[in-house]
Structure 1
Amino acid sequence: MKKLLLGTAALAFSAGMALASDVVRMGTEGAYPPYNFINDAGEVDGFEREMGDELCKRAELTCEWVTNDWDSIIPNLVSGNYDTIIAGMSINDEREKVIDFTQDYIPPATSSYVALSEGADLKGIVAAQTSTLQAGYITESGATLLEFSTADEIIAALKSGEADAVFFDTDYLAPIVEESGGELMFVGEQVTLGRGTGMGLRKSDTELKDKFNAAITSMKEDGTLNTMLVKWFGEGTDTY
């Protein structure tokens, strides 16, 4: 799942009081299928929409969905523009300095390289989405990082020849590779980053975290979460 890497120095904590409101605002990106996207009716859709609605039902919460650009999704949670992040966000130590997380609702996933040919230079110019762990990984790999604000742009950079390869979430890349008719292909080895995908919350919203954790646990125990994972990510996807 998508991995955000964010510095902490410029962020200030707000006093989150999500449960003091009648509505819990579910913040997502809306540009990361099949996790979350905007459908033809202009509404948030995808695995996280279906799962999030079920979590809210089980937690007896009234929820509404809002979208936010990926590169500012944590600052806008902290500043109170919404109450959760449910956007394919992997749990990692750096992020936990700033916000809190529920337990994971998607097991740790892999990231992959995609290129136009098997002989692509993975130490050359590699495109990744800005402010992600994939971008950080490429920087440390010795390759030249080419950053873009959206996932669509990294694919466009590869096709235009700006990048030798892209490095991103395998589940996101798989349908793009399949639909490319052989133009795009997986190359190199897969890499596991992060500790699974969880909901992000302000550190002060402990009661809200507990409610969502209980709902996630119940979905794992009765098999509902596994059913949704297979529905959206296909047979063979990692489940609980």
Structure 2
Amino acid sequence: MKKLILTAAVLALSAGTAFAADVVRMGTEGAYPPYNFINDKGEVDGFERELGDTLCTKAGLTCEWVTNDWDSIIPNLLSGNYDTIIAGMSITPEREETIMFTQNYYPPAASAYAAKTADADVMGVVAAQVGTIQADYVAKSGATLLEFSTLDDTVAAVKNGEADAVFADKDALAPFVTEGGELVWDGEDVPLGGGIGIGMRKSDTELKAKFDAVITEMKADGSLNTMIKKWFGDDAALF
């Protein structure tokens, strides 16, 4: 789903610190439902919370959850503030220059435009979340990109007339596009990215192997598809 451009100074931190013992600090945004969000109890919740806890349990690890703003989520992984990124992050070649990923735990899914009308100008002013593959796509499309720090802010920009449309993961936009609501789908879906994986420092190969083994198991026994349907519905992309 998302792409960060890092400075050389941040890249220098990529040596990182390996995860301590059997405790893994899981870094997420906490602002991208249903992938991840903060519930009424002030706790990390969502598809990725359930999946992360399951992965840790099956791998014999203990998860500790850490939230971080999206626009600095890779730099803070590299500097050792947590051990993984599990935050709706699409696997892209650009990111793989800096960090490594597990195999995907969510298959490649559609991105989409939403607007007040189905014929809004998607080559006009388009809102997208900063540092995402959707923002990169808009910038290259010829439209005027208007970036915001959160998905909610991108949607608000369309509602208040600041932007003609918003472009984001269709699954994340779906709760805002409801019958009788302010937003509708605009144009065709756009496939982007290679699916969503867990990001980690390149030095943490042991942790990657443990999570890859469990993800493979969950794909084979169907439990990952069951979890995806629970959070995204029966029409979600499945393995």
Shift of 1:142: 0.5
SS, match of residue 187 in structure 2: strand
After superposition, give the CA deviation of every residue in 1:39-59 in whole Å (9 maximum; x if it has no partner).
001110000000111100110
TM-score, normalised via structure 1 length:
0.96
Count of matched residue pairs: 237
Cα RMSD of the aligned pairs, angstroms, is 1.2
Q: How far, CA to CA, are the matches of 2:27 and 2:67 in structure 1?
A: 6
> What is aligned with 2:3?
4
Q: How far, CA to CA, are the matches of 2:21 and 2:223 in structure 1?
A: 28
After superposition, give the CA deviation of every residue in 1:143-176 in whole Å (9 maximum; x if it has no partner).
0001111111011110110001111110011111
Q: How far, CA to CA, are the matches of 1:8 and 1:193 in structure 2?
A: 24
> What is aligned with 1:209?
208
SS, match of residue 189 in structure 2: strand
> What is aligned with 1:191?
190
Moved more, 2-11 or 155-164: 2-11
Q: When you count strand as a share of all residues, which structure comes out higher?
A: 1
Shift of 1:9: 3.0
Letter in 2 for 1:188: G
> What is aligned with 1:163?
163
Aligned-residue sequence identity (percent) comes to 68
TM-score, normalised via structure 2 length:
0.96
Matches within 5 A, 1:1-240: 2-7=1-6, 9-10=8-9, 11-12=11-12, 13-18=14-19, 20-178=20-178, 181-240=180-239
Unaligned runs of 5+ in 1: none
Q: How far, CA to CA, are the matches of 1:5 and 1:77 in structure 2?
A: 12
Q: How far, CA to CA, are the matches of 1:153 and 1:238 in structure 2?
A: 26
Q: How far, CA to CA, are the matches of 1:54 and 1:101 in structure 2?
A: 18
After superposition, give the CA deviation of every residue in 1:45-101 in whole Å (9 maximum; x if it has no partner).
000000111100110001111100000000000000000000000000000000000
Q: How far, CA to CA, are the matches of 1:86 and 1:136 in structure 2?
A: 20
SS, match of residue 127 in structure 2: strand
Q: How far, CA to CA, are the matches of 2:114 and 2:150 in structure 1?
A: 16
Q: How far, CA to CA, are the matches of 2:78 and 2:135 in structure 1?
A: 23
